Amino acid sequence: MRTYVASAGLLGIVLTLVGPIVGGGPRTRSPVPTSILEAGPPELADVVGTYCVRCHNERRMTGNLDLAGFDPARAHESAAVAEKMIVKLRAGMMPPPGARRPAADTLRTLVETMEAVIDEAAATDPEPGVRRFQRLNRAEYERVIRELLGLEVDAGRWLPADTYLGNFDNLSAAQGLSPTLLEAYLRAATEISRIAVGEPGAVTKSVKYTNPIEVSQHAWDHLEGTPYGTRGGMVVTHDFPADGSYVFSFETLFGQGTGFEDLDLSVDGDGVARLQLEHNGDRNVEIRTEPIFVRAGQRSVAAAFVRKIEGPYEDRLSPFGWSFVGGEDAQQWADYGITALPHLADLMVTGPIEPLGVSASTSRRKIFSCYPETSAEERTCAEEIVADLATRAYRRHVGEEDVAGPMRFYEQGYADGGFEVGIRTALQAILASPSFVFRLEQLPPDVEEGERFRIADADLASRLSFFLWGMGPDEELRTIAAAGKLSDDDALERQVRRMLADPRSEALATRFASQWLRLQDVKKNQPELWLYPDFSGQLGDDMVRETQLLFDHLVREDASVLELFTADYTFVNERLAAHYGFTGVTGSEFRRVSYPDETRRGVLGHGSVLLLTSMSARTSPVLRGKWVMEVLMGAPPPPPPPNVPNFEETASASEGRRLTTRERMELHRANPTCNACHRLMDPIGLALDNFDVVGRWRVREDGMPLDTRGTFYDGTELTTPADLNGVLLERPISLTRNFAANLLAYAIGRRVEYYDQPAVRAIVRDAAEDDYRMSAFVLGVVRSDAFRMMRARTTAQEPDADPLESLVPRSEER
């Protein structure tokens, strides 16, 4: 009843501020709590009438909203609308700048009253929501296979790309089923079972790996995973199907007339060959090793050039940018002599030549928990292996039938090729099973339609581990769930804390935070190489890593979520440090460093965020402002009106001179239609304009001094990133509720709807009392009804579908 107490407390404030009673009126859906009715302040309806309805009326429909007759005291009756209002009011965006505003106290009372009314109404019958089961998406599939079999796989080889919904790739409403998907799971199961067990009778075949364009081969650039003292090259994870000899061959690009180069080859870090190549003006040179003996299993193969140049090197172009790959143009770069040294283009592994069986490998150790010494032991051992694999793969306790099914495949495989093929076939069946690929959740017996119910402990364990680790539960969590102890609040909290402390909770940074902050878009912006010649794919990766490491650090230290905005430190390696202009960092390892000055604080000073909110050739205060409003505050600006060209895409020059960003902004501010929203977004982005496209500090743009002054929508003057952080942190409720809502959506695999907002507020209220610690948010999510409960329904439609939706015209109705 914590929620209730909290809202009662708020009501106290409401009562003293606005005074007494107003009459009842018709009740439509949920029962109106009497305490609220008694407190119902007449003035608040007037406030809405006076300040909101001027734009939000039937005629103007600003923001598609008509608030005429809206009574905040009965906000729970139109909670979907009220929740939209609450977001804008909490962010301080409404009434908009320039419009008449009531006193700050009145606005606060308005929003607090609506929250209290809705929360109290919701407390009587909280809506846990309903959704279809989730399935393993690409990212989860890879993690699950890594945990189950110790293999690195690229799920994109089989599974169709995941459809994003909201910010995330794991929402069940976007996880449609199709024959394509089913077949993909089957193919993955077939292939992975072979890789995992190994193929003693493997035929000789060639596998070619092509170097991605963005891997810099520059004279000084070391590639992670290659030996020290080398430059460029490539690193691949290769599945060696059997013990035997393998030939490695390479093709290089460019480097005409550069003389001799030494190419170093290593397998799992052990040097196995060094080859010399000489360019005699040939464009493409192929070199190969003698057959080299390698044992079966998944191994890292690294090839790189021995670094010969320590001093300055005239090679201004990092091999990055689409122009490099587009047909004939690509060669021109080499012809111009800009990139002179040879690039490693691809690597081919051919083998096994004369396979000699399969010896121990990581994946085999994960599979063969026993190994029969006589044929009499084979079946017993197979049953042990199958039971163990099925338990781990199905994320639950397995019964006899769960073992009997895959054992039939063992028999089938055994008949074809003995014990090993039997195990492989059983594994293939397990990986294809609906219990593995789907995250099915049980409906307890005797639950009636429309009833709320607690999900089973095993399912709760699974939700928990996919939330925190991006994979299924480990043995401890499975055991506790199987014993029925996870329903206990203390036991649940202990597990959450244990799992947060486990390194696998890095998934919160690499999966959750990366998607929430949209870090996948970093790689989509290719900075123009003539403007940013030092940019490389490795640097882009480093930027993403920096942000992930900060978030991961906050999880590990159980620090405040607000430290995302205030951190006076960051995580860099030598390359990123040099890019930012920090000194004293050497090597490719990331480490924590304190910022040398006050220009950067938190994620708004991260190259990742600054790059993903830029255009390829210039910064975009609009995109940056929009990103802050949408991603950090959860209050996206309204869409541009129809038939107005997207400002960001339009011309940027006048009379032969490039306009500065500021000049372009002033231009479109002259248009009142544009100005209505851009006055919100632009000052936010301008305050960050001292950071260029790739996140370096600058004071001039195109030779003109930068003018980053602007006015935040609440009237505060903004000039610097620090000013921006300041105004954001004045609204911790916006930041933290938005964070909690995103965390909740990711955790429960469905969009957070208006009826989830009471839960979101409860999470944030509790977290506030615990200094907004990461664990407080995580625990709040885990303890929420949405996470632990479901409602039995026959359809996955939202409980309160928008009545307007039936009006959508369809072709046949036209």
Partner 1 sequence: MNFLTGKHISRRSFVRGMGTTVALPFLDAMVPAGRSWHDPTRERRFTRLLCIEESMGCAGGSEWGDARNLFAPAGVGRDFELGVDSQLRPLEAYREYLTIVSNTDCRMAEPYRAEEIGGDHDRSTAVFLTQAHPKQTQGSDIFLGTSLDQLHARRFGAGTALPSLEMCIEGIDRGGGCAYNYHCAYTTSLAWASPTQPLPAIREPRAVFERLFGAGDTEADRAARRRTNSSVLDWIVEEVGRLQASLGAVDRTAMDEYLTYVRELERRIQLVEERNSSGREREMPEAPSGIPDSFEEHMQLMFDLQVLAFQTDMTRVISFKTGFDQSNRTFPDSGTTKSIHGASHHGNVPADIMDFNRINTYRTGQLAYLLERMKSTMDGDGSLLDKTAIVWGSPMGDPNLHNHRRCPLLLLGKANGALEGNLHIRAPKGTPMANAFVSLMQGIGHDMKSFGDSTGTLALSYPRGGFSTTGSGA
Comparing CB distances to partner 1, the nearer of 644 and 729 is 644
Distances (CA, A) of 470 to 185, 384, 564: 18, 27, 22
Site for partner 1 in 387-406 (CB under 8 A): 401, 405
Shortest separation between residue 136's beta carbon and partner 1, angstroms:
14
Interaction of residue 651 with partner 1, rule CB under 8 A: yes
* 34 contacts: CB under 8 Å, gap ≥ 6: none
Token pair, residue 235, equals: 């690193």
Query: What's the rounded Cα separation, in Å, for the pair 93 and 14?
Result: 22
The contact mask relative to partner 1 for 320-339 (x = CB under 8 A, - = no) is --xxxxxxxxxx--------
Shortest separation between residue 668's beta carbon and partner 1, angstroms:
12
Given 391, 412, 599, 711, the residue binding partner 1 (CB under 8 A)? 412
Interaction of residue 253 with partner 1, rule CB under 8 A: yes
Query: What's the rounded Cα separation, in Å, for the pair 13 and 58?
Result: 33
Comparing CB distances to partner 1, the nearer of 31 and 212 is 212
Nearest one of 199, 274, 193 to 240, comparing CA atoms: 199
Shortest separation between residue 516's beta carbon and partner 1, angstroms:
9
Site for partner 1 in 769-798 (CB under 8 A): 790, 792-798
Q: Count CA atoms within 13 Å of residue 505 on its CB side.
A: 21
Q: 764-793: buried (b, 16+ CB within 10 Å) or exposed (e) per residue?
A: bbbbeeeebbbbbbbbbbbbbbbbbbbbee
Residue 273 parent element (H or E): strand 270-278
Phi and psi of 563, rounded to 5°? -65, -15
Strand partners, 237: 300
Token pair, residue 316, equals: 């201004």
Residue 237 and residue 152 in contact, taking contact as beta carbons nearer than 8 Å: yes
Given 354, 416, 476, 800, the residue binding partner 1 (CB under 8 A)? 416
* 619 contacts: CB under 8 Å, gap ≥ 6: 610, 661, 685, 688, 689, 691, 692, 693, 701
Binding piece for partner 1, criterion CB under 8 A, among 292-300, 495-503, 542-550, 647-655: 647-655
Interaction of residue 130 with partner 1, rule CB under 8 A: yes
Residue 341 and residue 260 in contact, taking contact as beta carbons nearer than 8 Å: no
Comparing CB distances to partner 1, the nearer of 32 and 744 is 744
Nearest one of 190, 235, 178 to 209, comparing CA atoms: 235
Shortest separation between residue 531's beta carbon and partner 1, angstroms:
11
* 380 contacts: CB under 8 Å, gap ≥ 6: 372
Interaction of residue 26 with partner 1, rule CB under 8 A: no
Shortest separation between residue 528's beta carbon and partner 1, angstroms:
7
Site for partner 1 in 689-708 (CB under 8 A): none
Site for partner 1 in 145-164 (CB under 8 A): 154, 156-158, 160-164
Interaction of residue 649 with partner 1, rule CB under 8 A: yes
How many residues touch partner 1 (CB under 8 A)? 128
Nearest one of 600, 598, 594 to 572, comparing CA atoms: 594
Distances (CA, A) of 397 to 59, 367, 380, 401, 402: 60, 18, 19, 12, 9
Strand partners, 270: 267
Interaction of residue 408 with partner 1, rule CB under 8 A: yes
- Judged on CB neighbours under 10 Å (0-12, 13-18, 19+), 803 is exposed
Site for partner 1 in 511-570 (CB under 8 A): 515, 518-521, 524-526, 528
Query: What's the rounded Cα separation, in Å, for the pair 204 and 352?
Result: 5
The contact mask relative to partner 1 for 221-250 (x = CB under 8 A, - = no) is ---------------x--------------
DSSP-assigned letter for residue 773: B
Shortest separation between residue 369's beta carbon and partner 1, angstroms:
23
Site for partner 1 in 428-447 (CB under 8 A): 428-429, 432-435, 440-443
Interaction of residue 742 with partner 1, rule CB under 8 A: no
Shortest separation between residue 106's beta carbon and partner 1, angstroms:
29
Q: How far apart are the first and last CA of the chain?
A: 51
DSSP-assigned letter for residue 705: E
Given 341, 539, 564, 612, the residue binding partner 1 (CB under 8 A)? 612
Nearest one of 788, 155, 786, 131 to 470, comparing CA atoms: 155
Binding piece for partner 1, criterion CB under 8 A, among 318-326, 359-367, 553-561, 723-731: 318-326
Comparing CB distances to partner 1, the nearer of 191 and 663 is 191
Shortest separation between residue 354's beta carbon and partner 1, angstroms:
16
Shortest separation between residue 384's beta carbon and partner 1, angstroms:
21
Site for partner 1 in 159-218 (CB under 8 A): 160-169, 172-174, 176-184, 186-187, 189-191, 202-203, 205-213
Site for partner 1 in 82-101 (CB under 8 A): none
Interaction of residue 811 with partner 1, rule CB under 8 A: yes
Site for partner 1 in 256-285 (CB under 8 A): 283-284
Given 74, 76, 90, 131, the residue binding partner 1 (CB under 8 A)? 131
Comparing CB distances to partner 1, the nearer of 583 and 806 is 806
Shortest separation between residue 90's beta carbon and partner 1, angstroms:
21
Nearest one of 129, 792, 800, 131 to 450, comparing CA atoms: 792
